[in-house]
């Protein structure tokens, strides 16, 4: 079976894949997302755009929202979906990653959505596969669709990302979300400040166009978006903080700290939240939190990404209709 005339398959492994001009690539995804938000609000939230295409989720790591979000997105585009979870697969019998990918490819799939605990796995999968590969999170490296939905949510609530002062708070070191967010936010012209204890920052920040602070209280008053990262207890093998209680006391967004934020500020979190650790329950459910919108927009953003890679026949950052 020959491939359609859409040209070479493309991948979304990191924000840099959005084209030579990352900012216009992100803008293109966001403009397309507007159309898919409209689709999602309909009584029948489904369009036939990707009929006959097959999207496989290949998740080597636990996930609720990302896997469901991609699956919902594919179904709303009328694509067929297949799910691969490690627990019930031949990986348990010792099948190698390469054999697993080749087996899936042989069934004729158009896109593979990959999540893995090791950085670089999606790139490796893309080398083996003809299908479009979408990175749904790899190790500490990247989670591009999360960054896109974060940009979209900020644009939706604050009119745009350019010029916004964004504080990314918490476990930056282990966070692929932080890495993709920094790349996307700064490409769009936001001012990003990382706020964390030194032990939770990457060993080197060379080449990161960000400011760094170790004092959350002093940053909050001049913050338009307060982005809290999850404390990734499963990735912490060393004692990086004395205790979670001390972390909460110094870096948690408590109701008292939330009062320091300007009236218009947004509170964001990629989920799943550790309520009472990085974010207080009252703040998570408070008026500034747009965490539920992030999840809702995630479906529309992933529809846009799937449509761009499989349906539109255009290049990322290209000029649209030909």
Partner 1 sequence: MTREDMQRASWRMAHEIVERNHGLDGVVLIGLQTGGIPLAARLAEALEMIEGVEVPVGRLDVAFYRDDIGLRPVLPEAVTDIPGDLDGRTVVLVDDVLFTGRTIRAALDALADYGRARAVQLAVMVDRGHRELPIRPDFVGKNLPTRRDEVVDVTDEGVDLGEMVK
CA dist., res. 291 & res. 297, Å (int): 10
- Name which of 316, 271, 263 is nearest 288 in CA terms: 263
- Name which of 310, 304, 316 is nearest 50 in CA terms: 310
Stretch that binds partner 1, among 16-24, 185-193, 206-214, 309-317 (CB under 8 A): 309-317
> Toward partner 1, which CB reaches closer, 76 or 230?
76
CA dist., res. 257 & res. 242, Å (int): 21
Stretch that binds partner 1, among 3-11, 139-147, 153-161, 226-234 (CB under 8 A): 3-11
Determine if 75 is a binding residue for partner 1 (CB under 8 A): no
Closest approach of Cβ 73 to partner 1, in Å?
13
CA dist., res. 248 & res. 280, Å (int): 9
Q: Which residues contact 190 (CB under 8 A, 6 or more apart)?
A: 161, 162, 163, 164, 165, 166, 225
> Toward partner 1, which CB reaches closer, 34 or 215?
34
Determine if 46 is a binding residue for partner 1 (CB under 8 A): yes
> Toward partner 1, which CB reaches closer, 178 or 308?
308
Closest approach of Cβ 152 to partner 1, in Å?
14
Q: Which of 21, 38, 95, 282 binds partner 1 (CB under 8 A)?
A: 38
Please report, as residue ranges, which positions from 88 to 147 form the binding site for partner 1 (by CB under 8 A): none
Question: Helix or strand or coil: residue 82?
Answer: strand
The answer to whether 291 and 273 are in contact (CB under 8 A) is: yes
Residues contributing to the site for partner 1 (CB under 8 A): 4-6, 32, 34-35, 38-39, 42-44, 46-50, 77, 307, 310-314, 318, 320-322
């Amino acid at each position: 079976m020959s491939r359609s005339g859409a040209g070479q398959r493309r991948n979304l492994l990191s924000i840099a894949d959005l084209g030579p001009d990352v900012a216009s690539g992100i803008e293109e995804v966001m403009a397309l997302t507007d159309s898919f938000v409209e689709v999602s609000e309909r009584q029948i939230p489904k369009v036939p755009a990707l009929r006959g295409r097959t999207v496989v989720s290949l998740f080597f790591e636990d996930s609720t929202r990302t896997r469901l979000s991609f699956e919902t997105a594919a179904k709303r585009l009328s694509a067929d979906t297949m799910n691969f979870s490690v627990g019930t697969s031949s990986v348990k019998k010792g099948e190698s990653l390469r054999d697993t990918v080749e087996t899936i490819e042989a069934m004729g799939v158009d896109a593979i959505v990959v999540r893995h605990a090791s950085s670089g796995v999606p790139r490796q999968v893309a080398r083996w596969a003809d299908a479009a590969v979408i990175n749904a999170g790899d190790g500490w490296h990247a989670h591009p669709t999360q960054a896109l939905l974060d940009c979209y949510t900020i644009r939706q609530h604050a009119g745009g990302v350019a010029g916004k002062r964004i504080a990314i708070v918490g476990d930056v070191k282990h966070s692929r979300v932080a890495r993709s967010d920094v790349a996307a936010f700064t490409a769009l012209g936001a001012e990003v400040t990382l706020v964390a204890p030194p032990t939770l920052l990457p060993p080197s920040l060379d080449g990161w166009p960000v400011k760094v602070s170790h004092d959350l209280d002093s940053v909050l008053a001049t913050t338009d978006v307060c982005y809290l990262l999850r404390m990734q207890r499963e990735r912490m093998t060393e004692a990086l903080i004395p205790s979670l209680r001390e972390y909460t006391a110094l870096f948690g967004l408590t109701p008292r700290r939330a009062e320091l934020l300007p009236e218009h500020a947004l509170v964001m979190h990629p989920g799943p939240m550790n309520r009472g650790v990085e974010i207080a329950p009252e703040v998570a459910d408070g008026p500034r939190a747009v965490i539920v919108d992030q999840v809702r927009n995630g479906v529309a953003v992933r529809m846009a990404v799937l449509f761009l890679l499989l349906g539109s026949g255009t290049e990322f950052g290209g000029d649209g209709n030909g």
